[in-house]
Amino acid sequence: MVATLQVYLFLAFYLAIFALSVWALVDLLRRPAAAFPSAGKRTKNFWGAILGVGTAVAFMAIPPPLGLGFLSFLGLLAAVGAIVYLVDVRPAVAPYSRRRGPRGPSSPGGW
The predicted-structure confidence for 8-38, as pLDDT tens digits, reads as follows 898 999 999 999 999 999 999 999 999 999 9
DSSP code string of the chain: -HHHHHHHHHHHHHHHHHHHHHHHHHHHHHS-TTHHHHTT---HHHHHHHHHHHHHHHHHHS-TTTS----GGGHHHHHHHHHHIIIIIHHHHGGGS----TTSTTSTT--
Domain ranges of the chain: 2-93
Residue 99: band (very low, low, confident or very high) from pLDDT cuts 50, 70, 90: low
pLDDT in tens, 59-80: 999 988 777 778 788 889 999 9
